[in-house]
């Protein structure tokens, strides 16, 4: 098809106050106003949220899956970052 492609937007919804916005999917739209409208029509037909964000997909910088090990593997060996690493006698309660 020869016509220009309509940009892609990522949609984030806050289900209710007190919770953060969560990625729910995407929509195509020419501009932010239309993206917001489309996101409202497509993703909030049953009271799914109180607030919608739309973000141009092209603006998202993502980590490369090829770097997964370099980025996230080192944390696996740092078990001393977890409370269960430390021994506390049973007599000492609630710690």
Partner 1 sequence: MYSQGLIGADGTTDEDEAFLQHFQSRIDAEQKIEPNDAMPEGYRRTLIRQISQHAHSEIVGMLPEGNWISRAPTLRRKAALLAKVQDEGGHGLYLYAAAETLGISREEMTEQLLTGAAKYSSIFNYPTPTWADIGAIGWLVDGAAIMNQIPLCRCSFGPYARAMIRICKEESFHQRQGYEIMLTLCSGTPEQKQLAQDSLDRWWWPSLMMFGPHDSDSTHSDQSMAWKIKRFSNDELRQKFIDATVPQAEFLGIKMPDPDLEWSEKRGSYDHGPIDWDEFWRVVKGGGKCSKDRISDRQAAWDNGAWVREAALAYADKVRARQATAAPTPVAAE
Binding site for partner 1 (CB under 8 A): 1, 3-8, 10, 23, 25-31, 34, 41-43, 45-46, 53, 57-58, 60, 62, 64-65
Nearest distance from C-beta of residue 82 to partner 1, angstroms: 23
Q: Return the SS3 of 66.
A: helix
Residue with Cβ nearer partner 1 (62 or 92): 62
Only one residue has tokens 């090990």, namely: 69
* Shorter beta-carbon distance to partner 1: residue 20 or 94: 20
Cα angle for residues 65, 68, 84 (degrees, 5° grid): 145
SS3 62: coil
Q: In degrees to the nearest 10, what's the CA dihedral of 62, 67, 69, 72?
A: -30
CB of 38 to partner 1, least distance (A): 8
Shortest distance (Å) from residue 36 CB to partner 1: 13
Of the pair 25, 72, the CB lying nearest partner 1 is at 25
- Cα 28 to the center of its chain, rounded Å: 19
């Amino acid at each position: 098809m020869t016509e220009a492609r309509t940009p892609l937007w990522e949609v984030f919804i806050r289900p209710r106050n007190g919770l953060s916005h969560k990625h729910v999917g995407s929509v195509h739209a020419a501009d932010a106003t239309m993206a917001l409208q489309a996101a409202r029509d497509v993703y909030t037909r049953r009271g799914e949220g109180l607030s919608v964000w739309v973000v141009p997909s092209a603006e998202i910088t993502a980590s490369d899956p090829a770097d997964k090990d370099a980025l996230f593997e080192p944390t696996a060996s740092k078990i001393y970052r977890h409370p269960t690493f430390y021994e506390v006698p049973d007599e000492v309660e609630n710690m």
